[in-house]
Every structure is written in structure tokens, then in C-alpha cells.
Structure 1
């Protein structure tokens, strides 16, 4: 994306465009085989009978597009040294970083320790909790079903989950798969996140959505969600007949070679080596057991993965695994559906972003005139960042096991190096995670964001 690209007229996604949306696979929140009841009865028989057309490419890179190498100042060894230094002096207990470029894994390493009380060195196969980085897996899983012809992006949620209701019949009927995955449900920000933290069951909260006042009709405004987003799990189950976790493992983890990856609390605890979450006390870092709460929302926050796993994930999303994720699907997943200007207000985002939007489980940023596909994640004791730079064929994932946002400065440092931008002291800046935090677990009010973004969708997947 060049400097002028952000000045192009924004296309409004009026209701009439919904009929042009391309087919896409949907996903289910039936969490595990042991969780036999989904939030609502799902309509597997009717799902199979709903007619679908074959998906068409939303956007594809023009033939002959030249991918630039990273700028001259890009230095993987220096990045690894910075990551190592972030674990010194109790800045953060442990970290894992994966960097890919040009279809090659340049680095997939661990730094620091898994647990300050029982320290083992973090390595490439140490598993971290991904929190909201999981949302890209949900969008991608749905996309595979769309590719199969099992789903459409404009499929109505009630076609697959007929018992689901919002507070108005019009909104209930209008809500689509794409709306779920792009946080365009119309609810207030982070609806019922505090109830999740208070151990409320997922199915209880999804039923409460029927009595929750809406800020807009689905598709018309943006407000980040975890409970509502996770309805995509129920859709996946109805569309595929497989539990969401089983679908992700079979369609993503296994074919991509993500051998350490898992879903859920039992998944991370069964890992041969995993990083415990840490919080600050007066005497330094204290390790904890992971909370089970947001693990109940597998599509929103259920994935666990290592640096080795994330390297494979980055390769796939930079287009180097077309056997699993074809280019037209990637283009659709990464394309902005709605503007999110509230994500530009703090830290490096305020300095570098010219525009921000949400796609399908991913954010899309104009970073100083360059397109960056991004997401962040934060739950108690874990933080993570992922970014893709299409024009440089670059991907980076950073994960750490402490409640410090200081390491987040490593990402803009790497991006600036890769793009040849003037250096900034980003690692000296403590910044927040925007709306990608699971607010209740971080101790901040889940309801502190009073408004919603009223910027209409700038494009619709077709």
C-alpha cells in the first residue's frame, strides 16, 4: 500500500452488497467432544441443504507484482539480541519470536524461562497461550469451509444456529458469518466479558445477547467481541459436522505442521514444555496457573502454540502454503471490512498508522504507507503480537508470558527495519493492546469503551 492508497474513496458496504458476498465456510462453538451441547441446537441437516455457489476470488495480487526484500537495515541477529535483552533484569520472564521472509524461516527461538519458580529455558517448541491471536484461526477455519462450498461469507447465522437471537428480529435475521468475524454484530464493546471472567458458561451468555441493546444493525458498526465472535464455532460445527477444535486441528494444525499447537486449557497443560503466565508483585514476577475462563471461547481465545508453530502459520499466511490456504482465500481474509480509527490512538500506532480496519479475524493497517496485517492478544499473564508485511513477504510473531507491554515495542522496531523507516526508541515505550486485550482478565473494565465505531464497512468479501 503506498501513501496515496489511503486516499482512495471508501466503498460503503450497503445492505445490497450482502447478496454479492462469496461463499465461505462457517465454524462451530461446540468446544470439544466432551462438550456435547453447543450454545444452541445447530441445524446440520438444513445446513447441508442450503444452496451455495462456488467461492470467487475477492482480490488477488496482480500478475508480476514485485516483492521487495527487507531494507538494508533489517538484521535478524540484532532482532534476536533485542529479544534476549528483554528477558534480562526481570523485564519479562520468557519470550518466543518467529520471523519468516521469502518463504523461509529466518528465526524461531525462545528466550528467558518458562516459570520463575521452576525455570526451564524457553525454546522453539515451548507453548504459549495465544489469546486473541486465536481469532485469525477462526477466520481461516471459516474460510476453508467457504472454499469447500459449505459456507458463504453472507450466510445467515440463524441458518446454522436457528435458536440464536439478538434483541430485534431484523438484527437476528441480518447477522452473517462475515459480521461475526469482523466484529460487526452491533453489540456494545466486549459484551459480557466480565461475566466470562466470573466463570459464566458460554451458552448462558449467548442467550443473554437476546436481551442486550444494540448500538446498530449488524454490518453497520464495529465493536470488538469475544462471546459473540465465538458463535462462529457453532456455525463451523453445523456446517461441517465436526467440533470446532477437531476442525482446526485437522484442517490447520496438522497440514501446516504445527506439531506443538493445541486448543484449550487441557491442551496447554498436556504440552511437553509450556510457559506459565506471570503477574507482577512487589517482589517481582509471580507465576500462576492459566485461567480457564476465556479458554471456553475457543474461536476467540483458545489456541496455544510455540515459535515453531507460529513460523508455519506465518508461512501459510504469507502465501507459501497454497496447498492449505490458497491465495484468493488469504486475500479475502486480510482485506478490510470496516474502519477502526480507535486503534490508532496510542503508542506506536499513533505515530505510525495512517488508517486501521478490521478484516476476518485480522486487522489491516496502513503503517506509514505500507500494508500490515496484524493482531494482538492479551490475557492474564500472556501477551502476543503477529504481523504480516505483504510487500516484503515478511511475517513476525512475538509471544511472552508476563503482564508487561514493553516487549510490544519489538514489533514496530522490526517493521521499521524491514521498511527502511527512521528508527524510533519503541522499546522504551510501554503501550496498551487496544481492543485485542481480553479486558476482564487484564483487570481493566470490560465496559470502559462507551461507543462503537460507526464507520461502515469499506468492503465486503465476495
Structure 2
């Protein structure tokens, strides 16, 4: 089936699915056969290997199912117990673990972090003294977007404590509590705080105090545990085009998706069945009813209220084109959750992504409904489109093909990225400019205060760079213009970067700055926050 005819077929299925659900007054009217057809057609049309869905209504799982395959080239299918990395949706689990400690009387949300972790430091001493447990979770610290992510993206040899200790060298982008900028590194701090207070690792505490009482038997907190489970989804991405997301779908190296040091920010793997239990706990305000009919408490109703209460406003810009209806009237961030409206109704939600996988969790409290969608690819339009169509079903909204709407948005964004790359290349070609120094003069060991050391070596007349704290982050430096080079990594999963050498008065390299080459690169490649200087000068 060619792409045009495939689009027509999926549009017909979308119309049938949405028509069946748009008039539904009650969640029980969900047409499972139409949903199955809709999902399967979307996977085929967009080349997505696999996907899993969990739906909870009125405290009970009503739908948990897997679709497609766990890995391209394999016949092993996705089922409701297949585990997927869930990315930043796991931030809510870290918040819940802290909530358990609050219930235990071990800490309070507005305790100062240094009262429990005296060695903790931010760049600004005043911020160090004022930072609370709540501040760790709500993205108002003053750090820039994704600051410090290169300490664990795409992987790391650092310990979590080492990562937290490096935080003191990351300069703020804004003043403390003045605004919102999403980060991951402070959730690593939250994980370390759990260890300091409970005397158990974040991994063990989450397994024993959150997963076990919540009945989440297949969920894991460590990558090694994920690799040990044969029923796991592999990551996939499109890396063959000018920007990420274009080209053929390919299998990624599952061991290079996220460092364990950042697991409290996004390192949990879970299944549709376990996500259904998680939704039950959330919609039950900390308590759920297990298969034996017994009520099990994970955390208190008071802590549930705390975790769902907005703490900081987030942007509410109007979305473009066909996804305009998805624009919120209000948007905020609570403790591990986004709180916003969709079609005028409050939702509690969070998206998640690590390389090659995406996830989305959303609840409509007034309908007592929750959904979770897990996908082993980066084709955002499929995951979010299916999820929003489910939300529309439960809200009785007019029919809309959200997969196609998000696809148009995605294609426009990618084409904009390609156009920007073309314009930059045109400008560089016009200006030209040879390197100031002989190639060998750029080689050496350099160090950034928070990231640590990199090595630049002259090998057979060409430069190679090695980010020594990130296993496998090595590549060649191709000259671009003047003293700027392009880092082309051996691992295509890593975003190319522009590397600029700055010379001092003596004509030697005294600093290196970087930035992502692609204008739509993931913010976790925070190259712009790096400032390398010769290691001997540190």
C-alpha cells in the first residue's frame, strides 16, 4: 500500500473509531474493536514497531493491551506485560516515593534540602540555603532548560552522588523561583535525597514502598533489570535524515538511552498492566483495590492532594494549525505532574521520552478516568494522537483525526529544521575561512566545571573528540569554518554539535564552546551550557 492510499485507509478507520466514540455518554461505550483497528492501522501507516495502552475507569482497569512487535525484525509481539522505558512519566513515581517519606514523618515538602543533605550545593549559596524538597520537583530553580543533562544523556559512568555534587558548578539562567524551566538533574537530587533519608537506594525504596504495594510486579528501576526481562520493548528511531525523526526506522542500542544516575528523572520501565495499577493508585488518591478486593494504601490522600496542586505556571502559547484545539487555557506544574485543561476540563498528565521510546499518562479526575500509552519509537504523532482521541472519547468531544493533526505539526517542524540547516550551510559557504592553527594545535585535554574532562586527539591528521564520562560518546571533528568544527559522533543516536575553539592572547586555545547543530535537537543535548578550558588551567 503506498503512502497516499495508506493515509486514506487510516483516515477512514479514524472516522469510524471517532464516530463510534464521539457520541458515547459513558466510558462503557468504548468500542474496543474500533480502537484495535485504529491503533493497528496507525502503526502500519507510520511504521511504528509496537505500542501498549492501559485505561482505567472508576477505579478499575477496563483495557490493557499490546500491539505490534517488541523489536523490528522479530516476531515477538507486544502484550500487556511487555515493559517499556517510560521516561519522564517516572518523575511522578519519585514524587510518590517522597510522599511516602512525608507520610512516615521523615521529611516535609517544605523542608530545606540541606537539612537532610548537608553537602548539597547549588551554584548560588543563597539558593542552596533556600532550596526545598518541593523546589526539587517543580522546575523553578533558575537552572536553564535541560541544564546538566549531558551528565547522563545518552549514558554515563558517573554515580548519582557525583552527579549531584557537580550541580554546584552549573550557573543559573534566571533567578530562583522567578519562572519555569524544565530540568532532569534536580530529580536526580530527589533520588539521592530519598537515599539519604531512608538509608535505602532510590531503586530499592521505590520497589519496596511504591511498586510492591501498588501491585506493579513487572516494573523495574534499573536498566540491568530491564535487560534481564525477555519481555521488553527495544528502542527505535529514525536517524537517516537531515534531522532526527526523518528516514527509515531503525533499532537503537538499548544500553545507550539514559544513565542510571538519572533514573529518578526518567529511568523506570513499566508495562500496560502495571501502568493500569499506577492509574488506579493515582485516581484513588493513594489507595487502590487489588484483585482480592483488599484496599491497599501507597500514600495518603493528603499527599495525593499535594502532588496534584499546581506550584508554578507554565507557558500556554497557542498551538499552530490542526493541533490548535489542544492548546490549554491554563497550564501548570505540580509535584511530578503537569496540571492543565483540555477542552476546558482539568487533566493531570505527563509525557515521557528517552531515546527510542515515548510514553504518555493522563487522567481526567472529574470523569475518574486515566489512560497510559507506551511506544517503542519516537513517532510522537501516533502516541499522542491515539491518546488525545481517547481523551476526546471520555469527554464526548467532536470527532477529530488527531494522529494526522500531530503528523502535520511534526512534518512542519522537521522541514523547518532542515531549512534552518540549509541556510546555515549557505552562510558558512559564503564566508569560508580556514582554521587559525595547525590541526595538531587544537588537540589536548579540556575540562568543564560540571561535565568534567574531554579529550581531543590528533589522529592521522584529523581530530577526534572523546567525552570521557559518557561511554561511547566519541567522534570526529570536521572543519566547518575558521575555528569551528562539527562533531560527528560514531553513534548516530547522538546529536551532532558545532565545536568552536577560542584563542587567547598568546594564540593558543583557551576555551571551547559548543551548541547543537540541529535547531530542533532534543534539549537534553545541552551543549550550549558547556565551557571547556585546558585541563592544566583548572
Q: Shorter-normalised TM-score: what interval?
A: 0.7 to 0.9
Q: What is aligned with 1:402?
A: 377
From 403, 406, 415, the equivalent of 2:391 is 415
Secondary structure of 1:413's match?
A: helix
User: Is it true that 1:323 corresponds to 2:300 in the alignment?
Assistant: no
User: Is it true that 1:287 corresponds to 2:263 in the alignment?
Assistant: no
Question: How far 1:98 sits from its partner (Å)?
Answer: 0.2
Secondary structure of 2:152's match?
A: helix
Distance 2:82 2:127 in 1: 43
User: Is it true that 1:339 corresponds to 2:303 in the alignment?
Assistant: no
From 225, 234, 245, the equivalent of 2:203 is 245
Question: How far 1:343 sits from its partner (Å)?
Answer: 7.2
Distance 2:210 2:153 in 1: 28
Distance 2:138 2:370 in 1: 22
Distance 1:386 1:421 in 2: 19
Q: What is aligned with 1:453?
A: none
Q: What is aligned with 1:311?
A: 276
User: Is it true that 1:257 corresponds to 2:215 in the alignment?
Assistant: yes
- Alpha carbons 1:133, 1:377 under 8 Å: kept: yes
Alpha carbons of structure 1 residues 72 and 323: separation in structure 2 relative to 1, 3 Å: closer
> Any residues of structure 2 matched to 1:336-375 within 5 Å, and which?
336-341=310-315, 345=319, 348=323, 351-375=326-350
Q: What is aligned with 1:120?
A: 76
5+ long unaligned stretches in structure 2:
1-23, 241-246, 289-295, 414-491, 496-520, 528-538
Alpha carbons of structure 1 residues 72 and 423: separation in structure 2 relative to 1, 3 Å: farther
More strand by share: 2
Question: How far 1:206 sits from its partner (Å)?
Answer: 2.9
User: Is it true that 1:147 corresponds to 2:103 in the alignment?
Assistant: yes
Distance 1:71 1:185 in 2: 40
Q: What is aligned with 2:232?
A: 274
Question: How far 1:301 sits from its partner (Å)?
Answer: 0.9
Structure with higher Rg: it is: 2
Distance 1:258 1:85 in 2: 30
From 253, 264, 269, the equivalent of 1:299 is 264
Alpha carbons of structure 1 residues 310 and 241: separation in structure 2 relative to 1, 3 Å: same
From 176, 179, 182, the equivalent of 1:221 is 179
Alpha carbons of structure 1 residues 177 and 370: separation in structure 2 relative to 1, 3 Å: same
Distance 2:55 2:522 in 1: 34
TM-score by length of 2: 0.65
**Whose RCO is larger (CA < 8 A, sep 6+)?**
1
Distance 1:285 1:379 in 2: 16
User: Is it true that 1:170 corresponds to 2:146 in the alignment?
Assistant: no
Alpha carbons of structure 1 residues 124 and 148: separation in structure 2 relative to 1, 3 Å: same
Distance 1:375 1:359 in 2: 11
Deviations 1:216-238 (A, max 9, x none): 44433221111122100111111
From 92, 97, 116, the equivalent of 1:160 is 116
Question: How far 1:75 sits from its partner (Å)?
Answer: 3.6
Alpha carbons of structure 1 residues 165 and 365: separation in structure 2 relative to 1, 3 Å: same
Distance 1:402 1:368 in 2: 28
Distance 1:337 1:350 in 2: 25
Query: Does 214-223 or 300-309 show the bigger shift?
Result: 214-223
Distance 1:295 1:397 in 2: 24
User: Is it true that 1:97 corresponds to 2:61 in the alignment?
Assistant: no
Question: How far 1:448 sits from its partner (Å)?
Answer: 8.8
The CA RMSD over aligned residues, in Å, is 2.7
5+ long unaligned stretches in structure 1:
1-67, 435-439, 451-462
Distance 1:391 1:119 in 2: 41
Secondary structure of 2:187's match?
A: coil
User: Is it true that 1:446 corresponds to 2:517 in the alignment?
Assistant: no
Secondary structure of 1:387's match?
A: strand
Question: How far 1:449 sits from its partner (Å)?
Answer: 9.6
- Alpha carbons 1:380, 1:442 under 8 Å: kept: no
Alpha carbons of structure 1 residues 212 and 342: separation in structure 2 relative to 1, 3 Å: farther
User: Is it true that 1:82 corresponds to 2:34 in the alignment?
Assistant: no
Distance 1:341 1:157 in 2: 27
Alpha carbons of structure 1 residues 75 and 349: separation in structure 2 relative to 1, 3 Å: farther
Distance 1:284 1:303 in 2: 27
Distance 1:447 1:266 in 2: 23
Secondary structure of 1:409's match?
A: helix
Secondary structure of 1:223's match?
A: coil
Q: What is aligned with 1:387?
A: 362
Secondary structure of 2:352's match?
A: strand
From 126, 129, 132, the equivalent of 2:88 is 132
Aligned residues: 378
